[in-house]
Amino acid sequence: MNTLTDNAIMLKVKNGDLDKMGLLFERYHRSLFAFLYHMTNQREASEDMVQNVFYRMLRSRHTFRGDGEFRTWMYHVARNVLKDHGKKTGRSNHYDVTEFAEQLAGNLRADERIQKRQEMLMLQHAMANLSPENRELLVLNRLQELKYHEIARIMDMTADAVKLRIHRAIHQLRNRYAKIESNEM
């Protein structure tokens, strides 16, 4: 069976085959949720935003040209949904670290779980202290595994600028983590 590319599927959706959106949802709802969750650390809000992203893609399917990557277009829509969520809630820079730390699963011994939880809390606090733009760059690059050129198209900047900003964001994250770690000790 010939597997359709994301662009081909979205072009079919654009041309009226709306059922094909289900294929894109199956392919991307998890990674989209992960992106939104890492940006907000709010499980329910992220689930709602995933639905909103797919609704908006369906509603604005006429804007998809197919000359770029579907994923880039999808993350562009997701960023707009994220911004609107921030405006609606008045918490665009809010990043709650407690829920993330409580998700640490446990095949570890109790002392290992405690140490892992502390490390994750420190990392989450360090991430929370980054600007939303730097946090977004790191999430897109390191967690969503988007390439510099893909992020550049999403954020409307050059790939070299993305690379430089990601490098700076990593440096800031390391510094913030080290500060938090030294205060914990």
Domains by residue range for the chain, with CATH: 6-89 (1.10.1740.10), 98-184 (1.10.10.10)
Q: Which range among 12-21, 30-39, 120-129 shows the weakest confidence by mean pLDDT? A: 120-129
Question: In this predicted model, which residue has the larger pLDDT, 116 or 69?
Answer: 69
Say what the pLDDT of residue 127 is: 87
Helix (H, G, I), strand (E, B) or coil at 5: coil
Q: What is the pLDDT of residues 106-156, one digit of tens each?
A: 444 566 667 777 777 888 888 888 998 999 999 899 888 899 999 999 999
Higher pLDDT, 63 or 120: 63
The confidence score (pLDDT) of residue 183 equals 80
Instruction: Decide: helix, strand or coil at residue 31.
Output: helix
Q: Residue 23 is encoded by which pair of tokens?
A: 């294929």
What Å distances lie between residue 148 and 6, 69, 127, 160, 172, CA to CA? 20, 13, 20, 8, 19
Q: pLDDT tier at 101 (50, 70, 90 boundaries)?
A: very low
Centre a 10 Å sphere on the Cβ of residue 7 and count the other Cβ atoms it contains.
17
Q: What is the mean pLDDT of residues 9-38?
A: 92
The pair of three-digit structure tokens given for residue 183, joined into one six-digit string = 């205060």
Task: Tell me which residue has tokens 């329910």.
Answer: 44
Cβ pair 25, 11 in contact under 8 A: no
Q: Against a cut of 0.75, is the pTM above it? A: no
Mean pLDDT within 161-182: 92
Which region holds residue 104: left if phi is over 0, alpha if psi is between -120 and 50, else beta?
A: beta
Percent pLDDT > 90 in the chain is: 54
Q: What is the mean pLDDT of the chain?
A: 84
Report pLDDT for 4: 83
For residues 55-67, give the mean pLDDT: 91
The per-residue pLDDT for 175 is 92
For residue 184, the model assigns a pLDDT of: 64
